[in-house]
Amino acid sequence: MKKGAIQQQIYICIMLLLLLFTCTYTNVYAQESQLSEAPIFIDGEAVNTRFIMREGHLLVPAIFLKHTGTLVDWNEEYRSVVFQSKERMFALPVEKDFTDDFDRVTGTWKRGSLSTETIEFNGEPFIPLIDVVKKLGMNVKYDPKVKRTFITTNIHIQPNELNKVDTSSMLVALTFDDGPENHYTPMILDILKEKGVPATFFVVGREITTYPEIMKRIVNEGHGIGNHTWHHPDLRKKWSSRIQEEIQSTQQELQKVVGKKPDLFRPPYGAMTKADKVILNKMGMRNILWSVDTLDWSGLPADDILEIVNRDISPGGIILQHNFQYGRLLDGSVEALPRIIDDLQKKGYKFVTLQTLLAKQTVEEHS
């Protein structure tokens, strides 16, 4: 063969290799960005999850199991996911097809088997769903007709969620989330002071460290307080130990700055899993949502906010507003506040802190 022909063949080989590399890379990339989602039914409730099908096994992100009321944590030392329910504890090391099961009677670990390996995908552990759910002692079935998976957890979690207080009294609570901060909060406090109306502030731990003086002012002026985590994360996406840290660190900061710890909690975005509720219950915290969503965080003008409040208010109602919103303006909310107070007072409503409103419910329950 001539020298030129050999060179040409080498070029072709290099081009083919490049093409192969590009195809493989694009394929992996496409797979990552197009990870499928499907609902899985847990105690009759549909919960969406990303999933991977591998050799006939359904793999889901380990953290998804929090929706079944199981505590899920990551152990960096052993590179394993640790599942913990009332009766059971076991770990799934990534890229292995076995489990380490803790025997509570003997206090020792035993090796168990999995039908397929756990995998790490984009730095996130995915576990075989059916295996884990069965190990947790839950019932699981796949209905081929509707192509859906149904899980029955057999776990009862004490409900402790409140959207409003059941009362016939004309009482309502104003609540402000995500502060303290130093721009809108003083304006809101001034308006409340002038009107002689108390509110409740769900505060974020890291903001308290930045604005301790504003935090003190909130409490000194007679307003109620609630815990709204330390970093304001989406709790559904965090390991169970992190949930506890988020709440506890904020409690400690409040104790340090204002000398008291609330037993009220509001999850960021109003979102949490059954496992997060287990932690809240254990900590003796009450989970407070809302019955009137002003949508003020989106920058709505005052008129729109007022319309929502007048439309959705009812006795025992809890109104959601914000005194801080990263990168957004709350001028509409501040402008609406005195008008909300005037409008509702004209209708016969009285403003109280959440603590007072909740006490009202207890009194009525016992009478």
> Considering the complex, what minimum distance in angstroms separates the CB of residue 269 from Ni ion?
7
Q: Which stretch binds Ni ion (CB under 5 A): 7-15, 172-180, 334-342, 345-353?
A: 172-180
CB 32 within 8 A of CB 122: yes
Minimum gap (Å) between residue 324 Cβ and Ni ion: 9
CB 203 within 8 A of CB 232: no
Q: What is the number of the residue whose Cβ is closest to Ni ion?
A: 177
Q: Annotated catalytic, 331?
A: no
The number of C-alpha atoms within 13 Å of 209 and in the hemisphere containing its C-beta is: 10
| 3-state SS, residue 259 | coil
For the bound state, the minimum distance from the C-beta of residue 176 to Ni ion, rounded and expressed in Å, comes to: 10
- Choice between 69 and 268, CB closer to Ni ion: 268
Q: What is the rounded distance in angstroms from the CA atom of residue 246 to the CA atom of residue 233?
A: 9
Binder to Ni ion among 43, 100, 131, 177 (CB under 5 A)? 177
Give 219: exposed, middle or buried? Use CB within 10 Å, 0-12, 13-18, 19+: middle
Residue indicated by tokens 């915290």: 285
- From 223, 228, 232, 322, active-site residue: 322
The reply on whether position 178 binds Ni ion by CB under 5 A is yes
Confirm or reject binding of residue 69 to Ni ion (CB under 5 A). no
Among the residue ranges 20-28, 150-158, 243-251, 264-272, the one whose residues contact Ni ion (CB under 5 A): 264-272
Residue 178 C-beta: closest distance to Ni ion, Å: 4
Helix extents (H) in 171-262: 184-195, 205-210, 212-220, 240-258
Shortest Cβ 340–Ni ion spacing (Å): 19
Active-site position among 43, 177, 178, 276: 177
* Catalytic status, residue 177: yes
Identify which of 76, 24, 106 has the alpha carbon closest to the alpha carbon of residue 241. 76
CB closer to Ni ion out of 126 and 176: 176
Give the whole-angstrom CA distance, residue 260 versus residue 247: 14
- Choice between 236 and 360, CB closer to Ni ion: 236
268 is a contact residue toward Ni ion (CB under 5 A) = yes
Tokens 């809890």 map to which residue? 318
Q: Which is nearer to Ni ion, 62 or 203 (CB)?
A: 203
CA distance 323 to 134: 45
So which residues are the catalytic ones?
177, 322
Interface residues toward Ni ion, by CB under 5 A = 177-178, 268
